[in-house]
């Protein structure tokens, strides 16, 4: 698939989700956020995310945001994409302004850019439909302020966000009727049955539009970030501008925005790994699953153990991926 002439990618990799600790402890001998864990084939979730979109976006138009605590591992894992820019935010500051920092960087360099903003901690074993949806979303930005990528088929683990689609805007693009920010498992099942889409916080939009929405909600922070990337301020100034607990990183800046659209992704297997059991449940390729279990067993034997500890349940083969 040919690269877009104007699309930039922002990849959020600063999360501290350690729910896969039983697996990362066994496989690599350390407790590390799940986006850096070398679990499935194809590298870490961060590496898979960069590789997935490299068919559309060259490395020099990618920005990855990480916590400074994991900057070294991020740079090591991304050495095959030397043009990728890594923004290392001080670990003690929290991730509230990570998206704004990356967006300000893109906007300062290319105000007319289109931007794909996504997380690095999702597993997508069949990414072709997702990549195609990003292409369609990019083309649809003359019809909508932003296009949210939605996952068809549902995702019923935990209190997840959902997109309720509305009327057709042409082709596969639908208007957004409403956004449900935190649905209970029962609500999620009802939403999925009604045709709603799981919202994994992945959006394609004009950089200018996203920046306007961010500046409207966080004017002080946006001004500080603009000064930073114009060379008139420091990262400490930007992070010290207040509002660090504002959940901008999960695209809350789209709240209340008009002219939102969505496009559904089918058959991607897209899911967020929430537990070791969920990981094993989501890997559909028997040979890959066998290989992962063999790696776990080898590491346990090397550590002088004969059984998994902490226990990793056997896969139930009923993953709620879409």
Domains of the chain: 7-272 (3.90.550.10)
Structural contact between residues 165 and 301, judged by C-beta atoms closer than 8 angstroms: no
Q: pLDDT value at position 122?
A: 93
Predicted local confidence at residue 244, as pLDDT: 44
Those residues of the chain that have pLDDT short of 70 are 1-4, 94-95, 154-159, 241-251, 256, 304-322
**Token duo for residue 50:** 């960069």
pLDDT for 175: 96
pLDDT at 134: 97
- Residue-level pLDDT at 71: 95
pLDDT at 115: 97
CA–CA separation, 179 and 192 (whole Å): 13
Phi, psi (degrees; rounded to nearest 5) at 243: 75, 25
**Nearest Cα to 22, choosing from 8, 9, 46, 39?**
39
Rounded Cα gap, residues 228 and 230, in angstroms: 5
Residue of 43, 75, 72 whose CA lies nearest to 59 = 75
pLDDT of residue 247: 44
Task: Give the whole-angstrom CA distance, residue 253 versus residue 99.
Answer: 10
Task: State residue 184's pLDDT score.
Answer: 82
């Amino acid at each position: 698939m040919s690269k877009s002439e104007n699309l930039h990618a922002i990849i959020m990799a600063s999360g501290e989700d350690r729910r896969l600790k039983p697996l990362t402890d066994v496989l690599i001998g350390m407790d590390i956020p799940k986006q850096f864990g070398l679990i499935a084939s194809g590298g870490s979730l961060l590496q898979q995310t960069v590789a997935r979109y490299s068919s559309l976006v060259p490395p020099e138009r990618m920005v990855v945001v990480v916590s400074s605590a994991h900057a070294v591992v991020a740079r090591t894992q991304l050495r095959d994409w030397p043009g990728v820019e890594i923004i290392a935010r001080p670990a003690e500051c929290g991730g509230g302004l990570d998206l704004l920092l990356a967006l300000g960087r893109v906007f300062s360099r290319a105000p007319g850019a289109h931007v794909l903003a996504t997380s690095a901690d999702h597993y997508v074993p069949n990414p072709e439909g997702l990549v195609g949806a990003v292409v369609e979303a990019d083309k649809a930005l003359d019809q909508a302020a932003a296009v949210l990528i939605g996952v068809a088929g549902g995702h019923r683990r935990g209190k997840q966000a959902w997109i309720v689609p509305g009327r057709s805007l042409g082709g596969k693009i639908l208007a957004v009727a409403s956004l449900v920010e935190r649905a209970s498992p029962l609500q999620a099942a009802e939403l999925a049955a009604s045709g709603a889409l799981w919202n994994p916080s992945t959006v394609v939009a004009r950089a200018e539009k996203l920046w306007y929405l961010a500046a409207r909600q966080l004017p002080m922070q946006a001004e500080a970030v603009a000064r930073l990337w114009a060379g008139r301020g420091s990262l400490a100034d930007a992070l010290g501008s207040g509002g660090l607990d504002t959940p901008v990183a999960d695209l809350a800046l789209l709240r209340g925005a008009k002219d939102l659209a969505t496009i559904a992704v089918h058959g991607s297997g897209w899911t967020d790994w929430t537990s070791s059991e969920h990981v094993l449940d989501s890997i559909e390729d028997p040979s890959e699953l066998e290989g992962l279990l063999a790696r776990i067993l080898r590491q346990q034997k090397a550590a002088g153990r004969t059984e998994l500890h902490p226990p990793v349940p056997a896969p139930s083969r009923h993953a709620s991926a879409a």
